[in-house]
Amino acid sequence: MSSRELIDPESLPALDAMLAAVPGGLHAIPDIVQRRATSRAVRVRPEVPADARVDKEDRTVPGPEGEPDITVRVYRPKGATGPLPGVYVIHGGGMIMGDVEGEDPTATWLCDALPAVVVSVEYRLAPEHPYPAGPEDCYAGLVWTAAHADELGLDADRLAVYGGSAGGGLAIATALLARDRGGAAIRFLMPLYPMLDDRNETPSSHAVTDVGAWDRSVNVEAWAWYLGGREADGYAAPARAEDLSGLPPTYIDVGTVDLFLDEDVDFAQRLVAAGVPTELHVLPGSYHASEKVAPDAALSRRFWALRLDALRRALA
């Protein structure tokens, strides 16, 4: 049976419309610069409430030692008083695409709905900047966020790290770096359908080849560009991390028609075995990032409701 036959019927038309707009999908565009430009031109912006009252500011902050400064976008609810919980957001894009602007709808929604101070980080992308540029930039932005909590009006003891897909893998890598380097304290970790394993050996990584959202061929390509010929370690590919103890309480969700299904479920089980409080949701019929491609589907609304509930409980 084709993977496409397993997709939630309500979430399929939006995917087909996206593939009609970009025949073959974004991954059929071989030039990465053109692929990024096309992605920016066609991306949807689903989650922002029409009446969101959010102030936004781009800041330039120190990057990793000896490396360029990085940009973060800071979101704060208008008129908010007192320290708020914080959410540090890492965008997706397979380590090769994506930016703060593309994650703006989600960051705005989180800021408005929780409410919280949100800091979204712009990290360097492969293949121009292979590993370890991405996680090091993300970690530097987290350290800056925690160090400037008072200035930002956030409670450093209530700080979550949030990211989807590549951003989910980078969220876990950032948490591992914070644990191992004694950096910023993280209250909660929310990696959504995270990209974790460069080996591409699981059954789901072999099964998802014809969906058109994020299939095996582009995943293999993205890992090769991201690693740049280096051997992956546990920070590059968190599925390889041997010790998961000491990570913050974690929420993971993933769909059954996502090639990351098996590696994400396995990672969640390893977190539980390591003593990390872990919440896992596997949603039937969901393809990779379907809640963004088909935001009006009931399945998509369930994704967002589960996440918001988990964040509110964790950051209360």
H and E: helices and strands count for the chain: 11, 8
- Given the structure tokens 């996502």, which residue do they identify? 258
18-22 long-range contacts, CB within 8 A, separation 24+: 18/42, 18/212, 18/293, 19/212
Reply yes or no on whether 204 is catalytic. no
The one catalytic residue in 27, 288, 290, 300 is 288
Residues 47/58, Cβ–Cβ less than 8 Å: no
- d(C-alpha 68, C-alpha 109), whole Å: 29
**Is there a catalytic annotation at residue 2?**
no
Q: How far apart are CA 40 and CA 28, in angstroms?
A: 15
Selection from 122, 130, 123 nearest residue 224 by Cα: 130
* 288 in catalytic set: yes
d(CA 115, CA 110): 7
Closest to 141 (Cα-Cα) out of 100, 110, 113: 100
- Catalytic option among 165, 204, 286, 300: 165
* Candidates 155, 258, 262, 264; catalytic one: 258
Strands 70-77 and 117-122 turn out to be antiparallel
Q: Which residues are identified as catalytic? A: 165, 258, 288
